[in-house]
């Protein structure tokens, strides 16, 4: 199920003037899938494809482009990248080739 993307205002993020109306928040393909204190992961239809571990360093970390490559090889699924840190969480969903947009934002695992 494709979820609607969140804009900066809907996600509670401060923003300047957005020319042409509110735009979805998207990941760049070189963004690291890593939170450090917490956990980040990639899913296909809810099943984990890659997960950050406490031992993961930047060199071992997937980037959004790695998730995109996996999704391109198997595109007819619900692909998501989840960042779950101590004070915030964010879920990005693939909305077409190379387009991963913010669909959920939360207060992190300390609020569980």
The first and second tokens of residue 103, run together, are 């669909």
Residue 29 lies in a domain: no
Residue 88 lies in a domain: yes
Is 71 strand, coil or helix? helix
Q: How far apart are CA 79 and CA 48, in angstroms?
A: 10
Q: Provide the domain limits for residue 62.
A: 38-111
Task: Using the predicted structure, report yes or no on whether residue 11 has a pLDDT greater than 80.
Answer: no
Q: What is the pLDDT of residue 30?
A: 96
Residue 58 lies in a domain: yes
Residue 2 lies in a domain: no
Bridge partner residues of 40 (DSSP): 83
Counted domains in the chain: 1
Residue 62 lies in a domain: yes
pLDDT digits (tens, 9 = 90+) for 39-87: 999 999 999 999 998 888 899 999 999 999 999 999 999 999 999 998 8
- Parallel/antiparallel/unpaired status of strands 38-44 and 47-51: antiparallel
Is 64 strand, coil or helix? helix
Q: What is the pLDDT of residue 21?
A: 53
Residue 43 lies in a domain: yes
Q: What is the pLDDT of residue 13?
A: 59
Q: Strands across the sheet with 100-106, in order?
A: 47-51, 38-44, 79-85, 89-94, 100-106
Place of tokens 């401060």: 14
Residue 6 lies in a domain: no
pLDDT interval class at 89 (50, 70, 90): very high
């Amino acid at each position: 199920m494709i979820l609607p993307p969140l804009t900066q205002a809907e996600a509670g993020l401060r923003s300047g003037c957005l020319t042409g109306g509110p735009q979805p928040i998207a990941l760049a393909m070189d963004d690291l899938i890593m939170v450090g204190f917490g956990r980040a992961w990639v899913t296909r239809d809810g099943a984990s494809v890659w997960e950050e571990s406490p031992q993961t360093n930047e060199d071992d970390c997937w980037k959004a482009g790695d998730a995109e490559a996996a999704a391109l090889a198997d595109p007819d699924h619900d692909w998501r990248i989840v960042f779950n840190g101590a004070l915030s969480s964010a879920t990005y969903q693939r909305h077409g080739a190379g387009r991963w947009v913010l669909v959920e934002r939360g207060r992190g695992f300390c609020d569980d």
